[in-house]
Amino acid sequence: MSSLTRISLAVVIVSFSTVALHAQATDRVQRESGIDSGQITAVTPLGVRISKGGVTSKIPAEEIESIQYAEEPPELNSVRTQYRRGRYDTAAERLQKIDRTKVTRPEVIQDLDFYTAACNSNLALAGKGDLKKSINEIGSFLSGQRTSYHVPAAIELHGDLYRAAGDLDLARKKYETLAKAPSPYYKSRSALLIAQLLQEQGNHTEALAQFEGSLLAAGTNTLADGMKKEATLGRAVSLAATDKVGEGITVIRQVIQQTPLNDTEALAQGYNALGDCLLAAGNKRGAREAFLHVDLLFNVSSSEHAKALARLTDLWKTLRQPTRAQDAQQRLSDEYPLSRWAR
Amino acid sequence: MPRDSRAHAGSLHECAVLYLSSLLAERSKVGWKLCAYLVVWVIVVTTSVAWGQDKKAPEADIPTRFLEKLRERGWNDVAIDYLEQAEDDPLTTQEFLADRDYHLAVTRAAMARQAVGENERQNLLQQAVEGFQKFAKEHSGSPQYISALSQVGNMLTEQALATLNKADRLPKEATAEQESLRASARENIEQAAAAVNQLLTSIDDQLSQLPRGAELQADKGAAALKQDLLAKQAEGRFLAANLKFEISRAYPIDAPERELALDTAAASFAKLRKDYENKLVGFYAVLYEGRCYQAAGELNKALKTFGELVNQPVGQADFRKLVSRAYRYRAECYLAEGEYYKAIEECSEWLNQASSDELKQPEWLAVEYQLATAYSAKASKDPGGEDASRLRTDARKLFREVTRHPSEFQDDARTALALSGNEDSSQVEVTGFADAFSAGKAALERMSSAQMAVNLAKDNNPEGVADIEDQVSASRQQAIDYLQQALPFIDEKISQDDAAAARYYLCWLYWDTGKSQQAAELGQLITDEHAETQYAPTAARVALGAYERLYLEAKQANAPDADVYADKLRSIAELIIERWNDTEAATNATELLISLAIQKNEFNEADRLLNELPEESRGAAGLSLGGSLWSQYLQKASKSPNQTIAQIEGLKNRAGKLLSAGYEAFAKSSDVTTAQAAAVLYYVQFLLASGDSAKAIEVLENPSIGPLSVIKRGGKDEKGRAFALEASKAALRSYVSVDPPRTDDAIAMMEQLEKITGDSPQASKQLTGIYVTLGLQLQDQIKQLTAAGEKAKAAGVAAAFSSLLERVAQRGDSKSWAVQNWLAQTSLQLGSGLSGKDADRYLSQAEDAYRKILAEIGKDPSFAPNELAALAVRKKLGETLQARGKFALAVEEYAKILQEKPNMLELQQDTAAALQAWGNVAKDQKTLEKSIHGMTPQANGKNLIWGWLQIAVVSDAAKRQALHPRGDTPPNQDSADKFQELYFAARYHVVETRFQAAKLSDVESRTKQLEAVRQNINALKQLYPDLGGADWQAKFEALLKEVNVLLKEAGK
């Protein structure tokens, strides 16, 4: 059992036990730093207000991993768990089993709407659903549930859907919308997504500026550490693609060397970026070895592993190793059938 | 895959590959001998701690873990790539990099064990050994040090045994080759022994540094280390003793060194058995001690020693194997002594005690084989005996049993069956893949056995050879039929290995039977669909070979599909390079691509590919590419003489560099292919063109690959003849033009050329053509030497060249117009380039030659191709006479021409010059005057010979005519320039001749003439201030200066 699965299961067990204890009375906000319990008094796209013992505090949207509402249907929490694990089909199935007629609390309805649209969207992104339909569905959510704290996530998904549908201008517009939030986190996130979009289009010069903008906006916000690393690595890949291979590789090497050896997800991101960099430089064998690091050693993060397998599938083909290519392709399909890399 | 079936497939596979030219040497028997050695090794090793695989560090670093993962997947190729660039991994460590050579060697050793081709396997093993040796030398303090040394010991021993087995397989007559292989094996064993000794010394050192007594008891780590070291010591000592035993095989049977080696080995094993009494190592030492006695022919001693094992109580599985081996060796001893019944009795008894599982194991199969041999021998001893038939039946039954399972004696048993002529080849009903594949393999095995039996029968039963060869053909066809039936059954349920094996065997059989298309397609399929199997690299090579064969056939037949095959060939070659880029196969594929690129004149691509080859492999391809570039250079130089030197000089230089590097890489080789020999000859041509005759001779005479050596052992076909011809031409030119020339060798080479071309009229004409061409080349060389002021060298070359001239002159076809002219012209040019007697010798030859031509024309005017040609000969005679100082005769010859062509301006010029030279030599003012004013008045009052003045007048008029032509003719500036040049030349000669005449005159007349010269020059200056350009102006001014000096002396 992978360490991530163990952690997730632990969370689930804790969650179930707490639901049992507080199901009737308390709302619970899951943050990276822990759980805040109390009464949710207000929900906006920028966050929620929670009141406990007469003390009200604000929790920004970017800090919220999930909210478990009092009196919500018991199946909803398992939907969230499946969603977090990337099991969108299972999550969607469980959502269908929930009797919505019995749900009255607006925040819970918002959650149900969001997860329904988000599951369908992610399935569509993995090639298992209709992109256009999902674009409309997310659009409906955004217009119908304007106060949900899921709005930033929905906007990002909207952008992802347009991106997958090939409408890159609209995708960019959606990502740009994120920057309108009065939060450095979302400004940084917006720049990062735009940079990745540009990178995908091969516009590395502009991508570089966006990556740098993302890093600048993130500042010293520790919540944005992961994003900063992503931006740093993304920037390095674009540097490599703009004839600054040496600089790009140096940056990535530094990132990898500074990453603790037990942070396998970050190492996977680093080696994948290194692989992209080396690919941009035409060094196929070097790229193959970088992606193999992810495949053979740092394969805990599903998205990074899926990416590495996708890259390896192509590389093995280029290197005239059809059996190895087939093996990588097969594992990608078997292990990450819903990943966008498996499309 | 179960061990047995894999070994079986491997054995069969090796057997099949055997026939692929040099791809693989046979492994079956060899493999089992090696296996026997390794089995002992493993058993000995497992009595303690496995070495070579130190305990894995609990927390290996990332690069080590990555490497392990790659190895787990069998991706040794990627592991090698990774190790070579390991410093690029951000998480690499200094410790990992320090052990890099060790890891590389371990990976190469693993690759060697995966390799199918014996050559490739040996290359990789060699690289691995070198890697371990290098590591051990540089890292004596490393934890991997002992492991590296043990690997060196093991691998060198393995190599030595393979070499010895190769030597054993050679025919008896090949004693020199056998000795060479044995010497190589001895060297390996000695190196292995050195590594093992080094290892034992290191272990002793480490043991001596460990705490003792209570202190050791208290230190668990030290105690464990001691155990580990003691185990390694036991292993090392066993290996050291075994090396002494194995080296005995590296000497001829009666050599004293062999006897000594066996004595030493027996003593070492005896000590081991004592030191490790009642331990498995000790019992194995007993077995090997017995083997030493057996090998030394001390059979009673051997039987007694093996008997110690046979008499031990048996129970434990490993120990039973050891005892089984003792029975086998005892049986061998009995058979050697002719005591068949004892062998039969003991073997039967031991086999009766065996379980059914044991009977399939190699140790018991060996006993079964001995028993079968004993039955067979007993039957042969008394062929008419009442038991003979039963014994033969029992023997066959046992042999057949032995053929069914992999063991050292599997092939021998097959051969025995094949020789008995009772092989079971009945038809098998095919209902699926398994039946067909199994029947196909069985047929292939029968074929292999029959092939071995053919070799044996050639010595022992020559009249049976034809029958056994029929068996080979029949089994081959059966194998093809069954495997063809197996293929359609392949689906996802069939294992990759079996599917690949079935396809591979059929692929090879197709190749072997000349079905190139089928072999190529199947080879390609295996490469694509079974890329990870051991068959893929060899299948790719078969596909490469098959497509090459198809391509060459199509090309030779000018078939349109040649291009298709070329594309397929290129594609499979690229795949091999990409996928197995560090192998010999990739090098061969790259060479093939280079050759294809050369054929398509894609020289830049060929050059690029050449640089991708490992440096040590560039020789052959470089030679080939260099030869092609040289050939291209020659074509360009001959077809486009107007092309600037710079344009083709680069081509020549590049060709030269490649040829030179290619030659140096091959200079010490023992042999070359036809194409390589041709490229070496191109190199000689390049050297000659560059004036380096000495080096050209060195290359020509290289005893192994020099063209002259190649001629001696070369073919008698048309290609061989053409090569010999070109090589002899190059040699002749080299011997003639080297400093000092090697005349005797040149003459010998001419004789060789005459022998090669034959004596038909056509051949004679060809040879003359060769000499003429060669003469022209030598003339150029003499000219260049003369121009460079190296007159002595020029004379040397000319002297050697005279042999050639004489040779041509003696030839029957030398009366032809072209040859006569060439002889005369060459002689004239040689003479003109020299001075004194050297010159006159050639000029005299030239005069004779020209006179002979004119005499021929006199007899038969049609001898000359046209009238002008005849006049040209006369002119040349005039030049020759003039060069010899026979001015009167020269002028006479010129005059004869002028009688017919009085307006030949060039000839008038030559005649005036002849008169001027004559006047100077004779110090005759009158003749000088004639050169100015002309001579021999004609009826029209004009002189036949014009003299310089008239020449000037005519030239001036002609210049004006060229500039202002009549009618619509456009002005011709070039022509005008030419006439102006002639005008000033003539004017200069006028004043020069006057000046020369003045110097011959008395004082008074001299002054007048000198003043006339000055006036003449000044008048000309007024008319033409630049005096016809810088060159002429300088000449006129210099002359004027001399005139003024003389006039000043005369007080003017």
Checking if the pLDDT of A210 tops 60, the result is yes
pLDDT in tens, B962-993: 888 887 888 888 889 899 999 999 999 999 99
A-proximal residues of B, 509-568, CB under 8 Å: 528-532
Exposed/middle/buried for residue B24 (C-beta within 10 Å: 0-12, 13-18, 19+): buried
Which residues of A fall within a CB distance of 8 Å from B579? 319-321
Local structure of A67: helix, strand or coil = strand
Q: Please give, one letter per residue, the 3-state secondary structure of B302-349.
A: HHHHHHHHHCCCCCCHHHHHHHHHHHHHHHHHHHHHCCHHHHHHHHHH
For residue A246, the distance in angstroms to the closest alpha carbon of chain B comes to 12
Q: Is B71 on the interface with A (CB under 8 A)?
A: no
What single letter denotes the amino acid at residue B91? L
Q: Is A11 on the interface with B (CB under 8 A)?
A: no
Tokens of B726: 């070109």
What span, in angstroms and rounded, lies between the C-alpha atoms of B550 and B552? 6
pLDDT in tens, B368-424: 999 999 999 988 888 777 788 888 889 988 998 898 888 888 878 877 877 776 555
Helices first, then strands: H and E counts in chain B: 46, 2
DSSP 8-state symbol, B370: H
> Contact B126/B162 with Cβ under 8 angstroms?
no
Residue A36 parent element (H or E): strand A34-44
Alpha-helical runs (H) found in B385-515: 388-403, 410-420, 433-460, 465-486, 496-512
Mean pLDDT value across residues B57-76: 83
Nearest CA in chain A to B74: A324
Q: Is B87 on the interface with A (CB under 8 A)?
A: no
> Contact B753/B725 with Cβ under 8 angstroms?
yes
Residue A41 parent element (H or E): strand A34-44
Which residues of A fall within a CB distance of 8 Å from B575? 320
Chain-chain contact of B81 with A289 (C-beta, under 8 angstroms):
yes
Residue matched to tokens 């670093």: B61
Exposed/middle/buried for residue B313 (C-beta within 10 Å: 0-12, 13-18, 19+): exposed
Q: Is B91 on the interface with A (CB under 8 A)?
A: yes
Residue A64 parent element (H or E): strand A64-68
What span, in angstroms and rounded, lies between the C-alpha atoms of B164 and B30? 9
Q: Please state, as a whole number, how many other Cβ atoms lie within 10 Å of the Cβ of residue B836.
A: 8
Residue matched to tokens 């006036």: B1015
Count the residues in chain A: 343
Mean pLDDT value across residues A124-145: 90
For residue A289, the distance in angstroms to the closest alpha carbon of chain B comes to 7
Residue matched to tokens 């009200």: A56
Chain-chain contact of B531 with A289 (C-beta, under 8 angstroms):
no
Chain-chain contact of A320 with B70 (C-beta, under 8 angstroms):
no
Chain-chain contact of A320 with B579 (C-beta, under 8 angstroms):
yes
Tokens of B938: 């004609």
pLDDT of residue A293: 96
Which residues of B fall within a CB distance of 8 Å from A296? 66, 69-70, 73
Which residues of A fall within a CB distance of 8 Å from B81? 285, 289
What span, in angstroms and rounded, lies between the C-alpha atoms of B1014 and B1006? 12
β-strands A27-31, A34-44 pairing: antiparallel
A-proximal residues of B, 734-793, CB under 8 Å: none
Exposed/middle/buried for residue B638 (C-beta within 10 Å: 0-12, 13-18, 19+): exposed
Local structure of B946: helix, strand or coil = coil
Mean pLDDT value across residues B427-434: 83
Helices first, then strands: H and E counts in chain A: 15, 5
pLDDT of residue B673: 75
pTM comes to 0.52
> Contact A56/A29 with Cβ under 8 angstroms?
no
β-strands A27-31, A64-68 pairing: antiparallel
What span, in angstroms and rounded, lies between the C-alpha atoms of B742 and B800? 8
- Residue B516 — very low, low, confident or very high, per pLDDT cuts 50/70/90? very high
Of B75, B91, B578, the CB nearest to A256: B91
pLDDT in tens, B573-611: 888 877 776 666 777 788 788 877 777 777 777 777 777
Which residues of B fall within a CB distance of 8 Å from A321? 531, 579
Cα-Cα-Cα-Cα dihedral of A272, A275, A280, A281, to 10°?
Answer: 150
Nearest CA in chain B to A246: B88
How many CA atoms are closer than 13 Å to the CA of B920, on its beta-carbon side?
Answer: 16
Mean pLDDT value across residues B541-553: 89
pLDDT of residue B425: 60
Tokens of B731: 């040699």
> Contact B284/B44 with Cβ under 8 angstroms?
yes
* B294 phi/psi in degrees, rounded to 5: -60, -45
Which residues of B fall within a CB distance of 8 Å from A285? 81, 85
> Contact B733/B725 with Cβ under 8 angstroms?
no
Nearest CA in chain B to A253: B90
Closest listed residue to residue B876, CA positions, set B860, B897, B858: B897
- Residue B59 — very low, low, confident or very high, per pLDDT cuts 50/70/90? low
Of B62, B88, B574, the CB nearest to A297: B62
Tokens of B223: 């105690």
Closest listed residue to residue A29, CA positions, set A39, A14, A42: A39
Q: Is A246 on the interface with B (CB under 8 A)?
A: no
For residue A278, the distance in angstroms to the closest alpha carbon of chain B comes to 11
pLDDT in tens, A189-199: 999 999 999 98
For testing the chain B interface, which of A293, A299, A312, A316 should be mutated: the one with the most B CBs within 10 Å? Answer: A293
Nearest CA in chain A to B573: A320
* A105 phi/psi in degrees, rounded to 5: -70, 125
What span, in angstroms and rounded, lies between the C-alpha atoms of B661 and B629? 14
Q: Is A170 on the interface with B (CB under 8 A)?
A: no
Closest listed residue to residue B363, CA positions, set B36, B34, B5, B46: B36
DSSP 8-state symbol, B55: P
Checking if the pLDDT of B625 tops 50, the result is yes
For testing the chain A interface, which of B65, B83, B85, B88 should be mutated: the one with the most A CBs within 10 Å? Answer: B88
> Contact B471/B418 with Cβ under 8 angstroms?
yes
Give the A:B interface size as CB pairs under 8 Å. 54
DSSP 8-state symbol, A39: E
> Contact B708/B700 with Cβ under 8 angstroms?
yes
Output the average pLDDT for chain A: 86
What angle separates helix A284-296 from helix B76-84, to the nearest 10 degrees?
A: 110
Nearest CA in chain B to A270: B90
Which residues is A49 bridged to in the sheet? Answer: A42, A58
Q: Is A284 on the interface with B (CB under 8 A)?
A: no
> Contact B178/B167 with Cβ under 8 angstroms?
yes
The residue ranking higher by pLDDT, B55 or B691, is B691
Q: Please state, as a whole number, how many other Cβ atoms lie within 10 Å of the Cβ of residue B242.
A: 28
Checking if the pLDDT of B171 tops 50, the result is yes
Nearest CA in chain B to A261: B62
Q: Is B82 on the interface with A (CB under 8 A)?
A: yes
Of A267, A270, A292, the CB nearest to B78: A292
Annotate B567-594 with b (16+ C-beta within 10 A) or e (fewer): ebbbebbebbbebbbbbbbbbbbbbbbb
For testing the chain A interface, which of B61, B89, B574, B612 should be mutated: the one with the most A CBs within 10 Å? Answer: B89
Q: Is A158 on the interface with B (CB under 8 A)?
A: no
The residue ranking higher by pLDDT, B83 or B457, is B83
- Residue B616 — very low, low, confident or very high, per pLDDT cuts 50/70/90? low
pLDDT in tens, A323-342: 888 889 989 988 887 777 87
Which residues of B fall within a CB distance of 8 Å from A289? 78, 81-82, 85, 89
Among B244-248, B745-749, B886-890, name the one with the lowest average pLDDT: B745-749
Which residues is A60 bridged to in the sheet? Answer: A47
What span, in angstroms and rounded, lies between the C-alpha atoms of B470 and B447? 10
Local structure of B684: helix, strand or coil = helix
> Contact B358/B364 with Cβ under 8 angstroms?
yes
The residue ranking higher by pLDDT, B737 or B285, is B285
Local structure of B650: helix, strand or coil = helix
What span, in angstroms and rounded, lies between the C-alpha atoms of B811 and B769? 12
Nearest CA in chain A to B65: A297
Nearest CA in chain A to B81: A285
Q: Is A286 on the interface with B (CB under 8 A)?
A: yes
Tokens of B682: 């191109």
The residue ranking higher by pLDDT, B270 or A164, is B270
Proportion of chain B above pLDDT 70, given as a percent = 87
Q: Please give, one letter per residue, the 3-state secondary structure of B964-1005.
A: CCCCCCCCCHHHHHHHHHHHHHHHHHHHHHHHHHHHHCCHHH
Which residues of B fall within a CB distance of 8 Å from A270? 90
